[in-house]
Structure 1
Amino acid sequence: MSFSSDKLATEEVSSLYKEKIEDLHPEHPDDYLREGERWATEEDMNTLRRVGDKLPSAAVFIVLTELAERFTYYGISGPFQNYIQNGYKVPNSNPGAINGGQHMATGLGNFFQFWCYLTPILGAIIADQWLGKYKTILIFSLIYIVGDLVLTLTSIPASIRSGGALPGIIIAMITIGMGTGGIKSNVSPMVAEQYGRYRPFVRKLKNGKEVLVDRELTVQSIFNWFYWSINVGGLSAIATTELEANVDFWPAYLLPTLMFVLCIIVFWLGRNKYVITKPNGSIVVKAYRTIATAIKNKRRAKKENQLIVDENGKKLPWIDYAKPSYDISGSVVQWDDKFVDELRVAIRSCKIFLCYPIFWLCYGQMTNNMVSQSGQMNTGPVPNDIMQNIDPLCIIVLIPFFDWVVYPGFRRCGLELRPVTRITIGFLMMALSMAYAAILQHFIYAKGPYFKHAGDEGYGFNDISAAIQVPAYVIMAIAEIFASVTGLEYAYKRAPESMKSIVMSIFLLTNAGGSILAFAFNPISSNPHLVENFAIVSGLMGAFTVLFVVCFRHYDRVDEEETREKTVFEKAQ
């Protein structure tokens, strides 16, 4: 890989911020001051403690909507592994319906996750080209409900016994995945858009002290709480796995279906409060044409010995050859120099996502192989697939702790955990989580009475408590807070205004990449190969953590410089 120098990257973001301050976005109101507030000076920026602002009320409605949607998503996907892997009403066995075995269960689970994170590209294009974020979310919610109903109706006992469960879950996965794509690519940028104050300002607290209210920290806090709502919704799997084990699958799927109806109602109730951006044309098509033009013009310039240099004698980046001001072919294009600058920043920002598929490969183990792993141990009176809910429980507790204590504590000490630092810590923690799972699997196989056949059809569990699996989920939760939340924040913050949906969908696409990689692990995603499975994904995560640091360690310096540049231009405005 080749990367731009720190200086060039800083110049890129500086020019963009000049334009942004000179032409404030029409979808946001101009910055304003309330009583007890004043604009920040350069001295304030250097001396006052930085804090985030309060969450806008419109953002609260979107956060609650995401909570309800995730309640539905995790509520239906939580029982998938057992539903597909095991037979229906088999004595002395975990709950099930299809009896497809662990290979089929893991494979279909990986397909579902891949599909759910591939379709956001389509959702982003539709929102940008035709409908806007608000209408796209509403329409795709209706598609989502259709999938929920198909899954619920085909999970009734008569359908399962007549063979309708397998085609039903495949149709439901495809339909729900479509619905998810239209929602996921738009709901996260929409929630951050609700905060429309750009310039840093000073607020006097009740104790008389002044603090600097910083937009960057506010957006970071918004995404922390957004991710918190995702994991609150994820606790639905506790209810649905209990219903699956003690009643049947159809009520386990009916509950999240009803919750999704509430999701749409909550989102609709906030319609008069939202900052709604209008569609401005398909960025994907425009970006494709821009990149193609840049490549063509660069090749032509090189062939004709007409390569362009700047005032310092440096060759221009290849993407600049798409600028109308530099276009040596003289062709008429549908973009301006500013769009090319924005596209360059977007492409550069997306490079940081290249290591995320390995992170999601590890994360995906939680919903398939780690569920099967807990089924090989003594879980007591609770179903084996309830163990995965330890992860969202930990996140619910830890996100407020990080937002109120950990991050502010570092800032008080003069240390700022910039995005690359946080992502690196998250990657490292995920590698440790998988290493722990591999070591645990070794001890499970070493225990009797079923050894490496534990959890297979016709076999029970080995003599080891499932409580020993808890640390793997705790470490994974910490990894998510550092890497996943920061990735969402980075995708929004770095994306130019016109490209937020598409950059966010590209970040979500890395999850689909992890699911594709997971297919390669299917041959070792069952007994007696699970030690190798967890060990290999842990090693991959560790290797990519090192690669990430080597390639992107300088991005934190650029991020800090960008913040300074932004402050200078906002102050000048």
Structure 2
Amino acid sequence: MPEIPNEQKKAKMPKSVPFIIGNEAAERFSFYAIRAIMPTFLVAQFFNPAHNPALQSIAEARANELSHLFVFFAYFMPLVGGIVADWFFGKYKVILYVSILYAIGNLVLSLSTHDLSLFSTGLIVIAIAAGGIKSCVSANVGDQFDKSNLELMSKVYGWFYFSINSGSVLSTLLIPIIYKKYGPELAFGIPGILMCLATLIFWLGRHRYVKVPPTGVKKENFMRISLYALKKAFLYAWKKVFFNRQDKTVWETVAEKYSPEAIDGVQAVYRILAVFAFTPIFWALWDQNLSEWVLQATKLDLHIFGYEFLPEQIQTFNPLFLISLIPVFTYGLFPLIEKTGIKVTPLRKIGAGLFLTILSFIIIAFLQEKIDQGGRPTVWWQILAYFILAGAEVLVSITCLEYAYTQSPKSMKSTMTALYLLGISLGNIFTSLVNNSIANNGFFARYTGASYFWLFISILSGFFLLYLLVAKRLPEKSYVE
């Protein structure tokens, strides 16, 4: 029988896919389950167990500080995890060994619900582990494909991201109920069980993975070229000022040591960072919907269609709205705007997203003013804010990932994804520091209640105006043919 040409063979799904999808769903359930109840638990268990109204503002600030510090580590570590995997150990070993550390952190957490120091240690271990594998897991999906089944990759990534959102929705609905009925030990213990399951699932697929070996330390990496260029820039400035000499430009000098492709990659990073410089403040506000907004929900009327929700469950609207709005924006709103003659560019999307973020927080600030005056407003106002914030996330988060891909050469795409996640980390450490200042009667101590949200609205508004001024001047260079 004649051999069937490769292009006529039916593409086969990699046998490793079920293990990757199962691992991701269990891990994301564990991660978001912890985040779902963390702020309210910290206040009730450690920072204001007596429910003293006079201590509530400081207690909430301490809970928010630790919550945002947790997110800071979770989104800083992908940069480290990616480098360690690519250069030294490979993705498989990093995911497996760090997942074991992740499970140990969960165990510490579930056994230390009466010890703040040990509980905080467990949180930091989990955040470091979750971040350490974050940049490896999605890249590991792509490693499983070759030319024979490349057409199936987008379908698998669809399943992959569906598993992420499924884990988020299920955990934020179920874990608050378990926390209320059975206490924190079981509520934090179940995420630990899920993380052990995630590790086991990943290990069971060990013989089915395509394992890309590490490449070793790259000589032409971003940091080395940047430091070399900085050194040459100082020498260039020194010669120009003191000796009035103008030899070659800085990048011409760098080109004598490094390849044009490597230099172009580094320059692309700096062009994209000019855009990403505006994202940390977006994330400084966005991540408050999983901490500050949850604490605000404890003071709202939580009846929805006759059913009383738990405060921690309201955040479930975030992923639900996000999933719903992605096709609405992609196939409805954007084409409609294009028909009016207005070109929908990545930079315009990001600007619109920043504006919507301000609008959502204005609703939250007015809602908090009603609470400060002794009222108990309906949760529907917060749900509206979640809806608007989900639209902002579609415009900023998804667009930035697209922008990082299209505006960077192939050799720098992983680096840009890690730097984008670093922006989330920086935004959260800023919010954590603000809350630390409030808790310790520092500079920001005056910003409690509604004034806290107005503070962040003012900061983002300033960045938004600056963005409008510089957006037209931001350089772009597409690498997609």
TM class by shorter chain equals 0.7 to 0.9
Q: 1:263 to 1:552 in 2, by over 3 A?
A: farther
- Alignment of 1:438 with 2:356, yes or no, is no
Tell me whether 519-528 or 532-541 shows the greater mean CA deviation: 519-528
What is the aligned partner in structure 2 of residue 280 from structure 1? 215
For 2:275, the aligned partner's letter is I
2:168 is aligned to 234
Shift in CA distance, 465/150, structure 1 to aligned 2, threshold 3 Å: same
Give the one of 438, 452, 470 matched to 1:533.
452
Give the deviation of 1:247 after TM superposition.
1.4
Length-normalised TM-score, structure 2: 0.81
1:348 and 2:271 matched:
yes
User: 1:154 is paired with a residue of what secondary structure?
Assistant: coil
Q: Among residues 320, 324, 349, which one is paired with 1:393 in the alignment?
A: 320
Paired with 2:407 and 2:85, the residues of 1 have a C-alpha distance of 19
Q: Tell me the amino acid that sits aligned with residue 471 of structure 1.
A: L
Letter in 2 for 1:255: I
| SS at structure 1 position matched to 2:214 | coil
Deviations 1:37-80 (A, max 9, x none): xxxxxxxxxxxxxxxxx999877764554333221111012111
Q: Percent identical across equivalent pairs?
A: 29
Identify which of 171, 174, 180 aligns with 2:121: 171
- In the alignment, is residue 252 of structure 1 matched against residue 187 of structure 2? yes
In 1, the alpha carbon distance for the partners of 2:157 and 2:247 equals: 43
Of 106, 122, 133, which aligns to 1:148? 106
Take 2:159 and 2:251, find their aligned partners in 1: how far apart are those partners?
Answer: 36
Report the AA paired with residue 530 of structure 1: G
2:247 is equivalent to residue 307 of structure 1: yes
Shift of 1:402: 4.3
CA contact (8 A) 1:58 1:273 kept: yes
Letter in 2 for 1:518: T
Offset of 1:233 from its aligned partner?
1.9
Query: Alignment partner for residue 243 of structure 1, among 172, 175, 178?
Result: 178
Matches within 5 A, 1:126-137: 126-137=84-95
* CA distance in structure 2 between the aligned counterparts of 1:463 and 1:86, rounded to whole angstroms: 20
Gaps of 5+ in 2: 440-444
Q: Offset of 1:91 from its aligned partner? A: 10
Match of 1:183 in 2: 133
Quote the Cα distance in structure 1 between the aligned partners of 2:382 and 2:167. Answer: 22
Instruction: Report the counterpart of residue 280 of structure 2 in structure 1.
Output: 357
State the alpha-carbon separation in 2 of the partners of residues 496 and 56 from structure 1.
28
Of 401-410 and 528-537, deviating more is 401-410
Shift of 1:173: 1.3
Sort the Cα spacing of 1:101 and 1:359 in 2 relative to 1 into closer, same or farther, 3 A: same
Distance in 1 separating the partners of 2:341 and 2:392? 23
- SS at structure 1 position matched to 2:213: coil
Secondary structure in 1 aligned to 2:30? helix
Change (3 A) 1:377 1:117: same
Deviations 1:200-234 (A, max 9, x none): x9xxxxxxxxxxx9x9xx97x98787555433322
Contact 2:281 2:460 in 1 (8 A): yes
Q: Which residue of 2 aligns with 1:468?
A: 381
Query: Contact 2:372/2:449 (CA < 8 Å) preserved in 1?
Result: no
Residue in structure 2 matched with residue 510 of structure 1 by the alignment: 423
Deviates more, 1:521-530 or 1:533-542: 521-530
Task: Give the letter for the 1:323 counterpart.
Answer: A
In structure 2, relative to structure 1, the CA distance for the partners of 1:499 and 1:194 (3 Å cut) is farther
Match of 1:66 in 2: 24
> 1:412 deviation in Å?
8.6
1:413-452 equivalence runs, <5 A: 417-446=344-373, 451=374
CA deviation vs aligned residue, 1:333-383 (integer Å, no higher than 9, x gap): xx5333222222223223321111101110121122212211112225432
**Cα distance 1:356–1:188, how it changes in 2: closer, same or farther (>3 A)?**
farther
SS in 2 for 1:432: helix
What is the distance in 2 between the residues matched to 1:275 and 1:407? 38
Q: Distance in 1 between matches of 2:157 and 2:347?
A: 16
Letter in 1 for 2:231: K
Seen in structure 2, the aligned counterparts of structure 1 residues 505 and 528 have a Cα distance that, compared at 3 Å, is: closer
Partner of 2:442: none
Do 2:43 and 2:59's aligned partners in 1 also have CA atoms closer than 8 Å?
A: yes
Shift in alpha-carbon separation, 1:472–1:492, aligned structure 2, 3 A: same
Aligned residue for 1:376, secondary structure, equals coil
Higher helix proportion: 2
Q: So what's the TM-score if we normalise by structure 1?
A: 0.69
Among 396, 403, 423, the residue aligned to 1:483: 396
Q: Per the alignment, do residues 92 and 295 of structure 1 end up closer, same or farther by CA in structure 2, a change over 3 Å counting?
A: closer
* Residues 361 and 413 (structure 1), Cα distance of their counterparts in 2 relative to 1, 3 Å cut: same
Determine if contact 1:224/1:399 at 8 Å carries over to the other structure: no
Q: CA RMSD in A?
A: 4.0
Note the C-alpha offset of 1:397.
2.7
What residue is the counterpart of 1:46 in the other structure? none
Give, in whole Å, the separation in 1 of the partners of 2:132 and 2:160: 17
Who is 2:466 aligned against?
Answer: 547
